[in-house]
Structure 1
Amino acid sequence: MINRVEGWSRVTGPSTAPIAVLIDGATGSSVEGAALSLIGRATARTFGSRTYGVASANERVELSDGMVM
């Protein structure tokens, strides 16, 4: 396992680096989920237009304790 890469350092807390998420009508499925996971972060901003709107790769999974993810 590489613990150190020259010029990089380990982030120990939430990143404060700005994040730009570029989306458009061709953005779909799990990429939409990734974009959604960043919305609400103070440092993330989306640019573009509406996404395709298809979550085809996602499915409900019931866990043994009755919770659903």
Structure 2
Amino acid sequence: MCDPAERSITADAHESKYGDPLTNSDGTWHGLGDTIRSGKVLLYRIDPKVGFALGKGETYSQIRYRFQR
């Protein structure tokens, strides 16, 4: 993604979801949002058609998701 508006939306979403590790000055990933906004990292958007989820526990399970456009 090269569009500055999309980069800003992405950075804002990450900061909102993960909070302190990204926004607090002593957080593990402090400054990542600004790095995303500046274009110093590569961002990719994926458009999946199929996804799989695997469950572990007493019995193993799996499920397949199909995404429609």
Q: TM-score, normalised by structure 1?
A: 0.24
Q: Which has the higher contact order (CA 8 A, sep 6+)?
A: 1
